[in-house]
Amino acid sequence: MVANGYVLVIDDDVARATELADTISAAGYRTTVFTDVAAAFDFLSADSDIDVILCELDLESVSWGDARKALKELDLQIPAIVLSDTADVDKMMTALRLGASDFFVRPIEDWDALRKSIGRCVRQRVLRRELQEYRQRLELANIELRGTVKVLEQDQQAGRQVQLRMLPTSPMVLGEYVFSHTVIPSLYLSGDFTDYFTVGDRYVAFFMADVSGHGSSSAFTTVLLKNLFARKRSDYLRHNDDTILSPVAMLKHANNELLELAVGKHATMVVGLLDTADNTLRYSVAGHLPQPVLVSREGCRYLRGEGSAVGIMADVGYEEHLIDLPDSFMMALFSDGILEILPPRNLIEKEKYFLKVFEESAESPEDIVTRLGLNRVETAPDDIAALFISKRN
């Protein structure tokens, strides 16, 4: 038979303590009797399996001030029911100050009330144990969670270093042309990425990609895109495959690779090919905002282009544009994270404001970065990437 609970009886009167213990045992409780208060205190501990303490208030040679201090230091959290031979108010107040859950006067006329009181104390003790166990499990879970988060942060930081090493040299100077970039992730890893590289002696290929979402999966997608452009550059140099010279062809390849990856990621992109011999630009836009900005002595303008983001649907068409570049210019490509930190509220006003920044301060990429406040951004609401291409003569 499983006991209803474990009751500790403390009373220096042996006969009285034994009688009380026998009565409680008959009600289905496991009991232990102590007639020595000091020994009882030594028996108790914070993790004791005692459910209720039945304690005689009128103990001989006991200072309840000292007893109260000892109980407080033990921090037992065990309910106590105090018994006394007299219904004295001062004694009852003493019992309450000691934290008694109930008070009974001898002779006990209502044993059913005492059993019910013990039952309530047992349930209270059980709830406290369950709460303590839950708190301990929660603390262990928190420790494990903190460890997991620390490992994830370390992984993210390592991934961040890898992603930074994937970025091209900044600045990269090729005669009169200068290429530079900046990337500000909203997390450790960024779904925004840019790259530029020479193709033979004449061309420079570049792209800006803004992958949907944030974090590791988006960053891995940027690795795939960089790998795609690196492969096609290698194919041009080794196998005379001129795919890398066609922005439209590169967008179609990127579209197919993201669809085959099947991870639910898509990306807006701008792909360009700079011909340094003719000073011309061939480019295509795949759903990317803001569109590239070209700044020259003639003013500032967006390089318009239409097309669906890559990785959404097959058989999508893209436009390819060919323009003659000014003798002196600066071109800037940004991911849409820049729109999040611009003051205007709606997209049309943001695009106007964005172009106005270039009109007012377009002496250098550093001026643009300062005017847009990118040099002061510590935590971006969205990933921000920027690519600058300049020509000075």
Q: What is the pLDDT of residue 275?
A: 96
The phi and psi torsions of 367 (rounded to 5 degrees) equal -65, -40
390 CB burial (10 A radius; 0-12, 13-18, 19+): buried
| pLDDT confidence bin for 65, thresholds 50/70/90 | low
Q: What is the pLDDT of residue 1?
A: 44
N- to C-terminal Cα separation, the chain: 98
Per CATH, the number for 167-391 is 3.60.40.10
Residue 389, pLDDT > 90, answer yes
Do 37 and 12 contact (CB within 8 A), yes or no? Answer: yes
Provide the token pair at 116: 């019910």
| pLDDT confidence bin for 223, thresholds 50/70/90 | confident
CA 12, CA 30: separation in Å to the nearest integer? 20
Task: Give the rounded percent of residues in the chain with a pLDDT score beyond 90.
Answer: 39
CA 10, CA 352: separation in Å to the nearest integer? 84
Q: What is the pLDDT of residue 44?
A: 79
Partners of 54 in the β-ladder:
9, 81
Locate the domains of the chain by residue range.
6-135, 167-391
CA distances from 374 to 249, 371, 380, 389 (A): 33, 8, 9, 18
- Kindly give the residue spans of alpha helices, DSSP state H, lying in the chain: 14-26, 37-43, 64-74, 89-97, 111-166, 215-239, 247-261, 337-340, 347-360, 365-372
pTM (2 d.p.): 0.65
CA distances from 30 to 15, 48, 103, 122, 379 (A): 18, 14, 21, 12, 62
Measured in whole angstroms, how far is the alpha carbon of residue 87 from the centre of its chain?
60
For the stretch 286-301, pLDDT in tens is: 999 899 999 988 888 9
Residue 238 gets the label, from left (phi > 0), alpha (psi -120 to 50) or beta, of alpha
Do 22 and 55 contact (CB within 8 A), yes or no? Answer: no
Residue 132, pLDDT > 50, answer yes
Q: What is the pLDDT of residue 73?
A: 63
| pLDDT confidence bin for 322, thresholds 50/70/90 | very high
Residue 64, pLDDT > 60, answer no
**Domain 6-135 annotated CATH 3.90.480.10:** no
CA 338, CA 341: separation in Å to the nearest integer? 6
The residue type found at 260 is E
